[in-house]
Structures are given as structure tokens and as C-alpha cells.
Structure 1
Amino acid sequence: MSDQQWKAFEVSVSDYIAEVVLTGPGKGNAMGPDFWRELPEIFAQLDRDDDVRAVVLAGSGAHFSYGLDLAAMGGDLGPVLAEGAKARPRTEFHDNLRRLQAAISAVADCRKPVIAAVAGWCIGGGVDLISAVDIRYASADAKFSVREVRVAMVADVGSFARLPAIIGDGHLRELALTGKDIDAEHAVRIGLVNEVLPDRDAALDAARATAAEIATNPPLVVNGIKAVLDHSRRASVDDSLRYVAAWNSAFLPSEDLTEAVTAVFEKRRPDFRGA
């Protein structure tokens, strides 16, 4: 793993702990094609590696992730947004969406516990990603946003499926329906993160320390604990992911979405009209 070259990540393994660091290439570690292609491959390898007993996940630089790289991934939306899009482009969009969901699910399904260290912004797809890990630490400057509603989208790669078990239904509805930003202290109050540390390095140190504690325990038992804890919610997560994939394939295309994407590129406030 350490010798393999990745475009969107850096991966290292030492003392039974793997560190997976988001590196872009998009600004703020935005999630472009390389991210979605490499993430499931990395976690499949970590899952099989007997020299890995825990995984630390972090972002490079000042931010964890700005979320989906709209500029790089816009081509995936084009066909389904075309006026009069029929079954084929919608089916292709559905299949691609299920591929993105599977990338995030690869993190959740990894038998090795995953601990995230979040600094700076964690937006949209970044929240989807940390919802798939086992334990989350944040720096004092961390900020979180389930922002898809502000770009005329229903979050569809994991937040709605996994966050109810983490922060509860009411808190999730508040974040999802408003698209509001919350700081680290708010995040720890609602249970989105386990602890807030003074800065990025302290959050990373906390994640490493927890990973080291886990790595001293019997690995098959650790795997078993994850399997048992995940068992009761696995079916509901899968059902939620399938439903939102079908819903977005049918209803995502809208004038509001086109307006949202256009506004992003023109760096202005969108004007939504409910069409």
C-alpha cells in the first residue's frame, strides 16, 4: 500500500495502522473522478491486509474536504439534465450514482475500524464520507455542512442513510433542510464528532492514539465487534441508498439544479423558482 501511487490520496502503513490522507487534486480535497475511483480500491486493499488493524482518515492541508468537485464531475450530470432526458440517460445516471454510493460504503464495510480526523471545512460529500467511519475527531476550526439542498440536490451517497444513527433524526433534518453550517462545538453537542481538539495536529494525534489502542486488541474480535454493531443497521442503510438513487434518477433534473450549477460557476447567489 505504501509504495502504490494514488492521485487523490496518500496511503501509509506502520505498526498495524494505515493512514489515508485526501490530497485532491481539487481545491480543498474536493472529490473528483480520481477520488471516487480510488477510494473503494484503497479500502478493499486495507480490508484484506493483515498488517492493518485500524485506519486513520484525514485531509491534507487546512481542510478535510469541500465535497463533490462539481467542475470535474459535471459531465456525469449533463445527460440526465438534458431537456426531455429519457430512460437511457436516467439509467446511466442511476448506475453511476450507485457506483459513488459503493465508494463510500467501502469505508463503512471495511472490517478494520476507521477513525477520522477532521479539520477546516467538511462539506457535502465530506459529511457523507465521515458518516461511514467508526469514530470522528475534529479540530476547533472544523466546520460541517450538509449543503446539498443549497445546490438543489438531495444528498444521495450516505448522509441520510447513516447520520440518523449518529446524530438522531431531528438534528439531521435541521442540517439537511437548511443546509446550514455548524462549527465543531455544535458538532460535538449533537454527536457528529466524539471530541474537539485544539487544532488539526491535535485531532490527528487523537485519531492516531485511538487507532493504536484498537490495534493492541485481538484483531478478529475487533472485526467481530464491527460486524455485530453494523448488522442491525446494514439493511436499512442499503434500503435508504437504493431509494434515494431511484428518487434522484427520477426527480433530480430541474431548472433549479441547472440554476444552482450555473450560479456556482458564475460565483453568484442562485435564484430558485421551484421548477
Structure 2
Amino acid sequence: MDTRLLRTLQVLARTGSFTATATELHVVQSTVTTHIKLLERHLGARLFDRLPSGAKPTEAGERVLAAAQEVLAAEQRLLDTVQGTPAVAGDVRLGAPESMCAYRLPTIIADLALRWPGVTVHLTPVGTRRALDAVHDGGLDLALVLEDDPPSTTLDATPVGSERIDLVAAPNHPDTGRYFLLEEGCSYTDRFARDLADAHPTRFGSIEAARSCVVAGLGLSVLPRVSVADQLADGTLRCVAELPESTLFLVTDPRRTASAAVRVACQALKALSD
């Protein structure tokens, strides 16, 4: 089987768009369509549902994705054997909390690109549960998760740093009141919410939304220090309380042999603890 078809499958599953897949693979859109049709014909199953919101893998497609990762990893190992040394090039699919994507990882990824121009990191904001599922199922190569303890999973979770967490409010807002927290699945906000008596916090899917409400004086929020550092410095927010730090874990799947690109990405992510 032509492994180009499997690479097209992987990118389309990640982007959900035939146009975006064609752009990333530097081919025309009709080539993407042809690759998927050829793969579906060869395997005798429909791999994607074509929906108004984009292409979504079917159940068969999800199963093929996991197997495709193994095939492509084997191909890379074969190339490494022929070349004598690992070829440090390829894609790395990394999932991480929004705060890491916005404030910590851009510099790390930029430095990685300078050192290894052939490595491309595809960064996806994702919560802990989805990150663990995606690494286990082969949708992500690596994930960073913020947790109090190592996730209970068959995956490997290595601590690579920690994040300071603050309860913040506007300068003149009282120390209690309405709370604007991140959506469920965020460990430090879930921990804080459990300690709230009768309060019913408003949940947001983004740090920016929660922070904006707090800056406007509408209530309080629990956010990583890195995401509110500028506001604390200029006085538009104040720290009501410092909460326990959350540990940052690097999650990998021990069942899979990491490519050279994934290995150098792991090494770069260890810089988060510096």
C-alpha cells in the first residue's frame, strides 16, 4: 500500500478539511479526495463522513487511524535502518492545555524548528481527558496535561514542570462572589469548584473569556499565573489567593516506537522545567 494514502488520512482526520489537508501536504484538493477514495476502495469501508462542519472519521476510520500510525512508524524505522542514523524530520502531533499553547509552547516550538527544520509540530489545545484518549488511540503523538497527580492510565506520564495557579479578581472586587471557571476537565478549576459550597460557577471554554469577565469586575476566576501575569503587573487584576501548583506531565504511549521527530520534541519539552 502507498503510505502517502495513510499520511493523507492522518492529516484529514486532524484538520477535518480537504482544503486544509491539500495545503498542508502541498497537493491539490482533488489529490486528497483521490487518496481517500483509493484507501476506502482498498479497505472496503467508508472512512469519513462528509458533513457540513467538515470531514469526520467513521468508526472504521478511527480504527484505521490507529493502525496507520503503526504502519508509518514502521516505515520510519525502516528508513532509519537504511540511513544508519535517524532522520530527524517528520510531523509531531502535540496536544496541550490552552494556557500552554498560548504562553509556554510557542517559544519551545520555534526553537525546535530552528534546530530541526524538518520537524513540524501540529499543536492542538485539548483538555486532559481528550488528550489521554487521543494519545491512546493514536490521534496524538504526545500530550501535556496539568494534573495534581499522575493520570491513572496505561500511558507513560513524566513530570516536566509545574504551573502556579491563582485566584484572581479585579482590584475593587470582593474576595468572594460569582466565579468564572474553565470548562469541566480542567483539573485545577475542578478541584476549586469542588470546594465551593452553594456557588454555581459559570464555565468557559477559553482562558480569554474567563479573564475578560474578571477584568470587567464581574467576578473571580482560577487561572494559571502565566495567563494573568500582565494583568497582575499593570494592576487590572489582583491575586486573591495562591492555590496549590499543578504538575505538568508529558504523556506518551509506551506501545508505540517514537520517531526521531517525536524524540527530539520530547527533549525540547523538557525545557519547560528549566
Using structure 2 for the length normalisation, give the TM-score. 0.29
Higher relative contact order (CA 8 A, sep 6+): 2
Structure number with higher strand proportion: 2
Structure number with higher helix proportion: 1
Using structure 1 for the length normalisation, give the TM-score. 0.29
